[in-house]
Amino acid sequence: MRLIAGRPLVAVVRGGRVEAVHNVAGYAVDGRGTALLSFGSTDLPVYLRSAAKPFITAAILAAGVGERFDLEPREIAVMTASHNAEPFHLDAVRSILRKVGLTEAALRCGPEPPHTQAICNNCSGKHAGILALSVAIGADPATYLDPENPAQQRILQFCAEMLGERREELAFAVDGCGIPVVAATLEKAARAYRRLATLEGLAPASAEALRKVRDAMIAYPEYMSGTGEFDAALIRAYGGSLVCKGGAEGVFAAAIFEPGIGLVLKVIDGNERARPPAAIEALAAIGAISQQRRSELSAFARPPIANKAGRIVGEIRPVPDALE
């Protein structure tokens, strides 16, 4: 078995000494399809985890679910979310279920500690959206997790279209919340996010669905992540020219609309703390972040490390020249 590898991009520093290092792999492609950045194992498939959520939501909207159930942008955003179970997140998920005619009992994502209710799972918005798709197309909501359910088949087909793969060759497994999770090389994933950025080379219905997802993520970034979260802060810093989505096990993906860049990163050891500094460093390496934006995001670029008493004892920061 060949192991995915990366470059030492993020260091954990305590007392002036490096305590840990996180290796990262990544790929970025511009609007012409030219590689801007490629490092680590970009040719080995990785599970996209929640970074696939914009495509899942778009598949749902492409089936006409938004119009049928009069979904609002905040509800579309929470369908794309890895949320913190804040009150506004739960209100939006309940609103979707109410419009569809289902209750929280229909959610099969399971609870997420310390919570005991499935609606508090960070993926409950996505599950509500898939349930809405199931109802809209006459599929059985009770089996919406099954890859053979017609709702999941539509989602997998859409993901295959975005990744430039044949549906029957698309690799997938079971995600932490129970739905099928697709795998792709970092190169193919970055090119999928380039399609999200440019909306080019897609069927009109797919492009329009992706546009609605982008608009909702930009309008309600806290709904698709949470208060004070990196994804929301990054989207706000770009003022409508970027959407991004983190995923479990250290996955990060971004679509930059002008000039149409797709970027995907994978923290090799899966540690979430390395994702924000790695993302900001990669954006800088491709010339896609201004000094002003980098300053606005400084708390994520070099997050401090505090001890149990709240004293700052170190920081997480990029390794100098790692991407040169």
Task: Give the pLDDT confidence of 120-140 residue by residue, as tens digits.
Answer: 999 999 999 999 999 999 999
Task: Give the pLDDT confidence of 53-111 residue by residue, as tens digits.
Answer: 999 999 999 999 999 999 999 999 999 999 999 999 999 999 999 999 999 999 999 99
Is 159 inside a domain boundary? yes
Sheet holding 171-174, edge to edge: 46-47, 180-184, 171-174
- Residue recorded with tokens 């690799």: 171
pLDDT at residue 258 tops 90: no
Is 323 inside a domain boundary? no
Q: According to the model, what pLDDT value does residue 204 have?
A: 96
Q: According to the model, what pLDDT value does residue 291 have?
A: 92
Is 37 inside a domain boundary? yes
Is 120 inside a domain boundary? yes
pLDDT at residue 222 tops 80: yes
Q: According to the model, what pLDDT value does residue 64 have?
A: 97
> Mean of the per-residue pLDDT values for the chain?
96
Q: According to the model, what pLDDT value does residue 2 have?
A: 83
Is 12 inside a domain boundary? yes
Q: Where are the alpha helices (DSSP H) in the chain?
A: 53-62, 65-68, 73-79, 87-100, 124-137, 150-163, 186-198, 204-219, 230-237, 275-285, 291-296, 298-301
Domains of the chain: total:
1
What are all long-range contacts of 199-206, with beta carbons under 8 Å and residues at least 24 apart? Answer: 200/260, 202/161, 203/161, 205/62, 206/58, 206/62, 206/158, 206/161
Distance CA 185, CA 27 (A): 9
Task: Give the pLDDT confidence of 272-288 residue by residue, as tens digits.
Answer: 999 999 999 999 999 99
- Tell me the one-letter amino acid at 20: A
Report the DSSP beta bridge partners of residue 29.
35, 262
Is 175 inside a domain boundary? yes
pLDDT band at 173 (very low <50, low <70, confident <90, very high): very high
Is 2 inside a domain boundary? no
Q: Percentage of the chain with pLDDT > 70?
A: 100
What is the residue range of 194's domain?
7-318
Helix, strand, or coil here: 50?
helix
Is 178 inside a domain boundary? yes
pLDDT band at 225 (very low <50, low <70, confident <90, very high): very high
Domain of 243: which CATH number? 3.40.710
